Structure 1
Amino acid sequence: MVPSVQYLSKAIIDVLTYFGWTYVSILASSDDTLPSVMDEFKKEASRHKICFASSTILCYKDNFIQIIKNLQSYPKAQVLVLFVNLQDLEDLLNEAHELNAFFIWVVSTPWKVPINILKKYNQSVGPIIIIQMRSYPLQRLNEHFQAKMKADSYTIMNLHREHQIPPSPKIMFAVNAAYAIAYALRDMYNATCPNVSSDCLVRNRETFMTVLTNTRFNAPFILSDVQYTVGFDRNDNGLALYDIFTIQENNGSLHFQHIGSWANKLTLNTSQILWEDNMVPKSHCSKTCGEHEMKITDQGNPCCWDCVKCDQDEVLINNLTCKKCDPGFQPNIDHNNCSELPLVYIQWGDGLAIGSVCISCLGILSTIFVVGVLVWNNNTPIVKASGREFCYILLSGVLLLYIMTFFFIAQPSVVICSLRHLGLATSFSICYSALLTKTNRITRIFTSVKKGIAQPRCINLVSQLSICLALVTCQLMGLSIWLIVDPAEVTESISLDNKYRILKCRAGDMMILFSLLYDVLLILLCTAYAFKTRKYPENFNEAKCIGFTMYTTCIIWLAFLPISYVTFNYPKVQVPTLCASVSLCAFVILGGVFVPKLYIIFYHPEKNLKSHQWWKGVSHVDSSHGTTGEVFQSH
């Protein structure tokens, strides 16, 4: 009927767990079965991750002062779990008081703690919690015992009066055992052999044991206001019921204060416990790790660990492990899971994008205005002398450069990526092919004049347009073949600082830079021809304008290409920078080549007359190439 010591271990563990005490010291007396009880507790506590700073079996020759000092060497283990007899408990409390030692005393005893322990306990040594098996006085048995003693001899009566022998708490279990057997016999007899002699019970011992372990009844001879069920658990042990007490002071005297009980689960009234500063003392080896910190445990003692903070790019997947997020992911705010990096690409609502679009729209309107003016003055000498067809080709290229801004700001897709790849390089090639054709023609004409050679070949309109078209076609065919071999795709790359994903065309930026190499060649050739014509007669104004345009363009490109490469991983900076650079190149062409013409048309219309001396040489050659006539007249 006495509960197994396993229940006592579970009750103590539940108390320790309730208060968060995971690091304790254990003491056990060497007598009786207390060392084995301590071993059973240690096994059960280890399964609940409760660790032990020290584990000591007390012998009668031990120096308790040294034992207390040894316990004090583990300041983080504030809790002492005691499986000790009354004498050892008194000695430990006395020595702790002498050494001014402070502990949380968890005393376990299968039977009732005597009242005289109150005389040995001093509150300065720390709070004490007592876990003891519940027992009740058997009033009718005590009355029977007293009557029996009176009927016995005088000697026995005097012995009882002298020593005041209290009833043993074990009597309750003996009485319960007798009743359990009686109930089991009755139930078995009624079920198996009610009409047969009681000998049948002897022949069914196994059946009797089964009936006995299933017996349940209210305990006899206990107070009327207490319900206590007698029975057995699945392991045929008696049901456990423990009372939990603490010692408190009231009106200057100490007394036992009932604070809870345990019957397969813990019930505590913590308001009855008077902690110092109203704070539950701590007894654990290591502090609780903070946010984003993992435990590095001592392999020999899982209750002791160091806290190490995870790196910023790591998440805490459990208390013991930090893990770096996969590429394209980042820790969330709580650093307990990985989330996808934000997807970044230039959007229409971004400030830089709005600025780029405004610049582009201004350029488009300016180009349309220039085209309108030239068309309105299409048959005037200044338009005809500039080569009307080349003017319109050049303006179409400039218009495409402004339009490219919209393709670069649009969200990347297969179509957009293809148009970016084809459009930018082709737009530049249209502009610089037209300028290269014009400067080459001027150079060849002046060279032939200096050498006294007849008019050079391929300077008429059809030949010049064919050369310009061939230069543009080379660029367009190369880009088309490239796209067929390596089609455009939309991909996601990760920024260098691994803070965001970049939505972009696959290899788009580097592909665009490579595709511009052809345009760089056109720019260099055009600049070289413009440089060669820098000393030609002053009245040949267009060569000087083209020269100024190409010098400025070279400066822009020297800045544009490095900036585009450096901002490769920053799309919200790179794209507006690219758009601004492209628009600036278009403005340079528009301003350098066409503003002088507009100036004459609007402010000096008298110079835009065929009879004016500046245009005297126009009649000597094709009217669409009046500059050629100018050259011949100058020489």
Structure 2
Amino acid sequence: KIFLMTIIYILIIWEFQNAKTMIFAIEEINNNSNLLPGVSLGYKMYDACTSIHLSIKRALAPLNEPGEQPNQTCSRITPLHAVIGMSSTSYTQAVASVFQPFQIPQISYFSTCGCLSDKTKYPTLLRTVSSDFHQSRALAQLVKYFGWNWVGTVRTDNDYGNDGVAAFAQAAQEEGICIEYSVAITNGMTRQNYIKLITLIKQASAKVVLAFLPAVDMKAFLDQLVLENATGLQWVGNLSWMTKRLPVNIEYFKILGGAIGMALPNAIIPGLREYLLNVNPYRDAYSKEFWETTFACSLNTTDSLKVNKCTGSENLRNVNSEYTDEKEFRVPNCIYKAVYAVAHALHNLYTCKTDAISFLNFTTMYGDHVYFDVNGDPEPRYEIINWQQGEGGLIKYVTVGTYDPSSPQGQQIKMNNVPKSVCTESCVPGTRKAARKGQPVCCFDCIPCAEDEINALYCLPCPPDYKPNDQRNKCILKDIEFLSFGEIMGSLLVVISLFGACITMFIILVFFYYRDTPVVRANNSEISFLLLFSLSLCFLCSLTFIGQPSDWSCMLRHTAFGITFALCISCILAKTIVVLMAFRATLPGNNIMKWFGPSQQRLSVASFTLMQVLICLLWLILSPPFPYKNFKYYKERIILECDLGSSVAFYSVLGYIGFLSAICFILAFLARNLPDNFNEAKFITFSMLIFCAVWISFIPAYISSPGKYTVAVEIFAILASSFGLLFCIFAPKCYVIIFKPYKNTKKHLMGKMPSKSLMSATNLVSNGNNVYFSVT
């Protein structure tokens, strides 16, 4: 014979029902030849009297009793194999502290605190009721289902209430629900404490209140709510009190009428109701007290103080109470599963089934599948209960939906169809209520909200960084747009930029390899190499315009562009001046080039570039570019771009480049009729034509392009002008150097002379890397 132990509160009617259910399950198992054949389950039942100290004392009782004496000496074995109970978290924790050192398993049938899932603290504890972690999330989804996003909470000040509301708060935040206040009910609260708490609830703007309380605490709280006439609130309840039958009191329904919340799934256990109805009032003191409480009479014939006498033959079938209501066998179902869990575990031990799956899975007599997860918890499933008024002032618990966390997201709450009776249908998303003049508040018109507004009770504008979702009931972040490396346009521009830089490097290598040939020497090789270097920087500076704008990238992209192009045009201007001076020296013996020799050329390039550097420094010091969120172009997305900071500085940079380009173009144009074999001015003229055409067309395109296309236009202008300069100036020379080497001679360069010129001969005089002409 194997003993089980249960610790419950016998004095409460539903706990008497729980005790009878456990006895029913044990007797059913003992009569089942397929489960534990040849073995009988016994039990010892203790009354904890709603006291933690008594709970611990009752738990120690079977451990201190003499056990069976086996043949071995100095050994004592207790027949206790499992504990079933308790129905409250605090008491379950107390009992667990006693039995855990002895590795005696404990199965709770109604302790729901999420804290009990911690196997490091409660390694031998299991339960047949779901953790409040799942219940709290279910309550948050239920509140969201009805569109209540402004609520208050009431809890008990212990692990059960604090952990439950904390889990609800976390889930509520994920669902976009805000909590206005959270108050706690403590043990031994005075009337004044209750008044202060209820006054806070009544004065709060939130009219939906979640009460996460045990049934006993909720009953005491409800009595205080009645005294304070706290009506007009929508209550949301946890499973501890949602299905606890209250005495017939119309005042209770005024307070809690319409309450909605979670409840354990009900089950029809064959034979249980008949067993509960078969109570012998003379069997024990508990049955006697239950009988007297149920029929409001006395079984003691010598008690002259009680008018009503019990005969013992009263019929429980005529009593309408929670004890006999087969539709409310929710907690008894958990007790029934707890007893069978112990029985199946023992059966598997006796039949040598040691795998975990066999120990944690079984099917009840009425076909309900039971299993425990790694935390010792069952599958979380709930029914949604609504308090409605029944006959005779009783509160009727109506199942209006279910919660199943295994369903897809958004379909976990399933509500039954409820008949509608409305003056005006609820406003669709994107509209708000507008009262009709002279009509009740239930009749209203639906006025469309603005495009950037959502509707709750009113049309509320979304913050600048947000936009309404498709349902128009929540603000979501807008998409951010900028020219990124990952998109096709950004990647293509990166490839073109790197391609231009590579071509430039290739030309540098060609010029360096053929640096001693006439074509390279005759084209002022020092300035040519500097020009090629600046062109490679022009190609690479376009990369700074791609990617998410930041403080540094915004400052770098415009200043790098301005300085590199100023250097580039300065080099071309220096080359143009050299060519023009060399071929315009018409008087014999005129050595004008001594005034613009290598030193003067370097100084001119440095001076022209330094002027642009100074403009950029003033720009960065006084009003630098910075990242900017542009909300103007599109309402549904944000354009992240670089604000110029100072438009005057930006156009000064462009204007200075334009000024240098104009001078360079004019001088090159004047020298366009120089000898064909050495007509550097003609190439410069064509390059500056392309350069000016690109940047003149850039201005209207830049102004009219929206968003990231503005940046793309600027990059295109940089690349197009850079390619124009590169190909017009250096492509003909590379062609001669690589494909026409026979033309790369001093004789060929001096082969053609203008017939009308006064020059009789032209001598090419080389001075280092710089070349000029002297006329004789």
**TM-score for both structures, normalised by structure 2:** 0.45
Contact kept, 8 Å, 1:261 with 1:267, in 2: the verdict is no
Matches of residues 219-234 of structure 1 in structure 2 within 5 Å? 226-227=318-319
Give the one of 441, 463, 477 matched to 1:302: 441
Whether 2:641 is the aligned partner of 1:501: answer no
2:504 maps to which of 354, 367, 372: 367
1:515 matched to which residue of 2?
653
2:691 aligns with one of 536, 553, 557: 553
1:607–1:614 CA contact under 8 A, matched in 2: no
**Distance of 2:399 and 2:726 partners within structure 1:** 90
Query: 2:563 maps to what in 1?
Result: 426
The aligned counterpart of 2:577 is 440
CA distance change for structure 1 residues 326 and 618 in 2, over 3 Å: closer, same or farther? farther
* 1:459 alignment partner, one of 596, 600, 612: 596
| Residue 311 (structure 1) aligns with | 450
C-alpha distance after superposition, 1:384-408 (max 9, x if no partner) = 1100111011101100011112222
- Aligned counterpart, 1:449: 586
Whether contact under 8 Å (1:260, 1:269) holds in the other structure is no
Q: Which residue of 2 aligns with 1:619?
A: 764
Residues 228 and 552 of structure 1: is their aligned pair in 2 closer, same or farther, counting only changes over 3 Å? closer
Structure-2 change in CA distance of 1:429 and 1:190 (3 Å): same
Show the counterpart of 1:31.
none
**Contact 2:497–2:542 (CA under 8 A) maintained in structure 1:** yes
In 1, Cα distance between the equivalents of 2:308 and 2:622?
A: 88
Cα deviation, residue 472, structure 1:
0.4
Question: SS where residue 441 of structure 2 aligns?
Answer: strand
State the alpha-carbon separation in 2 of the partners of residues 423 and 217 from structure 1. 104
CA distance in 2 between counterparts of 1:269 and 1:530 reads 92
Q: Any idea what the Cα deviations from partners look like across 1:514-557, whole Å, max 9, x if unmatched?
A: 42221111111111222222233434411000001011111111
Mapped to 2, the partners of 1:292 and 1:558 lie a distance apart of 47
Give the letter aligned to residue 592 of structure 1: C
Deviation at 1:597, TM superposition (A): 0.7
Deviation string, structure 1 residues 110-149 (Cα, Å, up to 9, x no partner): xxxxxxxxxxxxxxxxxxxxxxxxxxxxxxxxxxxxxxxx
Corresponding residue of 1:285:
423
- What is the one-letter code of the residue matched to 2:773? T
- 8 Å CA contact 1:422, 1:479 repeated in 2: yes
User: Equivalences for 1:329-478 in 2 at 5 Å?
Assistant: 329-449=466-586, 455=592, 458-478=595-615
Aligned-pair CA distance for 1:331: 1.0
How many residues in Structure 1 have an aligned counterpart in Structure 2? Answer: 387
**Within the alignment, does 1:594 sit opposite 2:739 as a pair?**
no
The alpha-carbon distance between structure 1 residues 216 and 347, as it changes in their structure 2 partners (threshold 3 A), is: farther
SS at match of 2:530: helix
For residues 476 and 356 of structure 1, the distance between their equivalents in structure 2, rounded to whole angstroms, comes to: 27
The structure-2 alpha-carbon separation of the partners of 1:378 and 1:269, relative to structure 1 and needing over 3 Å to count, comes to closer
* 8 Å Cα contact 1:540-1:627 kept in structure 2: no
1:580 and 2:720 equivalent? no
Deviates more, 1:423-432 or 1:600-609: 600-609
Alpha-carbon distance between aligned partners in 2 of 1:367 and 1:342, rounded to the nearest angstrom: 38
> Which residues in structure 2 correspond to 1:519-538 (within 5 Å)?
519-538=657-676
Q: Work out the CA distance in 2 between the residues paired with 1:439 and 1:484.
A: 34
Change (3 A) 1:269 1:490: closer
Counterpart-to-counterpart distance in 2, 1:443 and 1:411: 46
How far apart, in 1, do the equivalents of 2:587 and 2:451 lie? 73
CA contact 1:421–1:508 (8 Å) conserved in 2: no
Aligned counterpart, 1:92: none
SS at match of 2:435: strand
Give the root-mean-square deviation of aligned CA atoms.
4.1
Instruction: Indicate how the Cα distance of structure 1 residues 581 and 282 shifts in structure 2: closer, same or farther if over 3 A, else same.
Output: same
Q: Greater share of helix residues, 1 or 2? A: 1
Return the structure number with greater relative CO, CA threshold 8 A, min gap 6: 1
- TM-superposition CA deviations, 1:62-115 (whole Å, max 9, x none): xxxxxxxxxxxxxxxxxxxxxxxxxxxxxxxxxxxxxxxxxxxxxxxxxxxxxx
Are the aligned partners of 2:668 and 2:681 in contact in 1 as well (CA < 8 Å)?
Answer: yes
Kindly state the Cα deviation for residue 564 of structure 1 after the two structures are TM-superposed.
Answer: 2.3
* Cα distance change of structure 1 residues 385 and 268 upon mapping to structure 2, 3 Å threshold: closer
Alpha-carbon contact 1:534-1:544 (below 8 Å) kept: yes
CA contact (8 A) 1:418 1:483 kept: yes
Specify the alignment match of 1:196 in structure 2: none
Q: 1:444: Cα distance to partner?
A: 4.3
- Structure 1 segments unaligned to the other structure (5+ residues): 1-179, 184-188, 192-214, 230-258, 271-278
Residue 445 of structure 1, CA deviation: 4.7
TM-score, structure 1 as length reference: 0.54
The answer to whether the 8 A contact 2:687-2:724 is kept is: yes
Q: CA deviation at 1:618?
A: 4.5
Q: How does 1:40-51 map to 2 (within 5 A)?
A: none
Q: Which runs of 5+ in 2 are unaligned?
A: 1-295, 299-303, 322-388, 401-416, 752-760
Equivalent positions of 1:194-273 (< 5 A) are: 226-227=318-319, 261=391, 263=393, 265=395
- For residue 108 of structure 1, what is the aligned residue in structure 2? none
Shift of 1:456: 5.8
Write the distance in 1 (CA, Å) between the matches of 2:420 and 2:455.
26
Question: How far does the alpha carbon of each residue in 1:434-467 deviate from its partner, in whole angstroms, 9 at most, with x for none?
Answer: 1122223434455553899652663211111111
SS in 2 for 1:581: helix
CA deviation after TM superposition for structure 1 residue 286, in Å? 1.7
